[in-house]
Amino acid sequence: MAILSRMAKLGIPLTVVAATAGALFYDDIRGRFSVKAEQPTVSPFAPLPPTFSSPSDTDIFPRKKWHSNWDSRDPLSLVDQEEYNAADPASRKEMLQKVKATATRNIFLIRHGQYFMETEEKNLTPLGREQAILLGKRLAQSGQKFDVLIMSSMQRASETADLILNELAPLPTRVDSILEEGAPYPPEPPITDWRPKQKKFFAEGSRIEAAFRKYIHRASPKQKQDTYELFVCHGNVIRYFVCRALQFPVEGWLRMSLGNCSITWLVIRPNGNVSLRTLGDIGHLP
């Protein structure tokens, strides 16, 4: 206390002294003031210590790296390996440049309109036809020139495509049965009212995967301009394509819902990066 008394005589408040050494309090038992040592106060402006050095160093943020050569169209995958290995550095660079994609593909995946589920043909209902016409009008009013329309061979898809084409400027069209509806992959979690047999997933899933590899990939090196491509097909096919293109777990495809005549827009960049611009857009429907 002698120190505190001398400080008081010098005009230094006891609270200042307490702040340097700890907290000043009155000890009822000893009948005197005491100083209780405390942990130093951290300035609110001081940076907080990091809880981890980086996400990759912990399992707090588990993640799977993006596979940049997911479509096997990376330039190094397209050159002749023996010729490439034997070439000098300048020749190697030239070889890779020749097979490098430079254009972007815009892929519009369109689900067909509402259809009669109880009929064998499963053709469009009057509402389904109206949906397809409204979709065609929206595409026409967008002002975008489309390069091609590829449709599933199933009737509900071909009817939808024909009604869309009536609203657009003429463009090349193709029909491909590989885009038909099917069971792409056993969903997780499973649902009770739709349980195809394993052989159905095995057969139809292989076909839908083949369709993905055929149509969903970066542009050819020969393609110099960006393209805008329409695909009129089915809900299961589109949802599987989205999972595969974004490298999401394919067993989660059934967690998404797509309305009739909805637009799902995938963008594939020359470097293989993929983005989803819209999923199941039905803004054109009342």
- pLDDT tens, position by position, 1-35: 554 454 444 454 544 444 444 455 545 545 555 55
Evaluate whether residue 15 is within a structural domain: yes
Evaluate whether residue 286 is within a structural domain: no
- Are residue 87 and residue 126 in the same domain, yes or no? no
Write down the pLDDT at residue 193: 87
Evaluate whether residue 17 is within a structural domain: yes
Evaluate whether residue 164 is within a structural domain: yes
Evaluate whether residue 206 is within a structural domain: yes
Of 83-87, 105-109, 228-232, 262-266, the least confident:
83-87
CA torsion sign, 26 to 28 to 30 to 32? Answer: positive
What whole-number distance in Å separates Cα of residue 135 and Cα of residue 194? 29
Give the domain extent around 74: 69-98
What phi and psi values does residue 276 have, to the nearest 5 degrees? -105, 110
- Are residue 14 and residue 83 in the same domain, yes or no? no
At 190-205, the pLDDT tens digits run: 998 888 898 999 999 9
The pTM for the full model equals 0.79
- Are residue 250 and residue 141 in the same domain, yes or no? yes
- Are residue 164 and residue 59 in the same domain, yes or no? no
- Are residue 25 and residue 2 in the same domain, yes or no? yes
Evaluate whether residue 55 is within a structural domain: yes
Q: What is the mean pLDDT of the chain?
A: 87
Write down the pLDDT at residue 262: 99
- Are residue 47 and residue 169 in the same domain, yes or no? no
Higher pLDDT, 47 or 128: 128
* 119 and 156 Cβ atoms separated by less than 8 Å: no
Of 2-11, 123-132, 206-215, 253-262, the least confident:
2-11
Write down the pLDDT at residue 61: 83
Residues of the binding site for substrate = 156
What's 136's domain CATH number?
3.40.50.1240
Residues of the binding site = 156
Final residue belonging to a domain, choices 79, 98, 117:
98
